[in-house]
Amino acid sequence: MELDGKVAVVTGAGSGIGRGLARRLAGAGMKLVLSGYNLSSLEATASELSSLDTEIICVPTDVSQLAAVQALADAAIARFGQVHLLCNNAGVAMPGPVGEISMDDWRWVLSINLWGPIHGVQVFLPLMERQGAGHICSTASESGLYATSYLGAYNVSKFGVVGLMASLERDLRARNSPVTASVFCPGAVATAIVSGSRNRSSESMASHVESEKTQKFWKAVGEAVAAGMDPNDAAGFVVEAIQRDRFWIFSHPHVPATALRQAKAMAESQALIAL
């Protein structure tokens, strides 16, 4: 896909991979619609890109709400007339093993990580098909390929994103659509995902409980994430893959290697591999 002069919508653009995507896409000559929960974070991203002479608008959006995603699309069309690329990137995480995760935790994680991309596809796909071109990329995770312990809700949401995008791409090809799709399954990237609950209501957090073991696990995750890949580098893999029309996007070579090892074990012993 050629990017120069075209329009991209990026959710979760206020930090992390979303901000990295904004940098990379602006560098490729795209006009940007930056979406996220906090306007101040979006404006910080836009300010950082001001030297690139890129047209940018910031649209605060709660991707868990279909009406908000529709308003995002309306704002993009009102300003630029078209949208050529949608990056469904907003994401959150809460720790906890299956069976101990509260219903509020399940709802919060799934509403953003899975329903956000679903809403994005529902709203932007018809728009792109009418204009005769477009691409939708959603950020999943290595956890969406083989799951990791103590991240039940996150794993389920990311498996869902992989399934959504694979289904979308197959459906698009079956009807010879001018729109294409891809899914990004990164390993550890240095983002603020472990503090994502900062944007969550205190009422919704009231039922969240962490055992001592879960707290230790979440601390270790935080350390691994902090030492992870630079978001700008991770975003570079995404932009390159979109330009080359690839469906699967990986930031770390161990991710497809581990998925392959799991597939081999599935065929030979029907067992889950140790991670």
The residues annotated as belonging to the active site are 154
Q: How far apart are CA 207 and CA 253, in angstroms?
A: 38
Write phi, then psi, for 230 (nearest 5 degrees): -60, 130
Q: Residue 11's beta-bridge partner residues? A: 35
The residue among 221, 249, 253 whose CA lies nearest residue 236 is 249
Residue from 16, 108, 23 nearest 63 by CA: 108
Copy the structure tokens of residue 45: 């991203």
Cα–Cα dist 1/75, whole Å: 23
End-to-end CA distance of the chain: 35
The runs of H, that is alpha helices, within the chain are 16-27, 39-48, 66-80, 103-113, 115-131, 143-146, 152-174, 202-205, 212-226, 231-243, 254-268
To which H or E segment does residue 205 belong?
helix 202-205
> Could you tell me how many helices (H) and strands (E) the chain has, helices first?
11, 7
Widest CA span of the chain, in angstroms? 56
Nearest to 87 by CA among 233, 225, 241: 241
Q: Phi, psi at residue 132, to the nearest 5°? A: 90, 15
CB 63 within 8 A of CB 120: yes
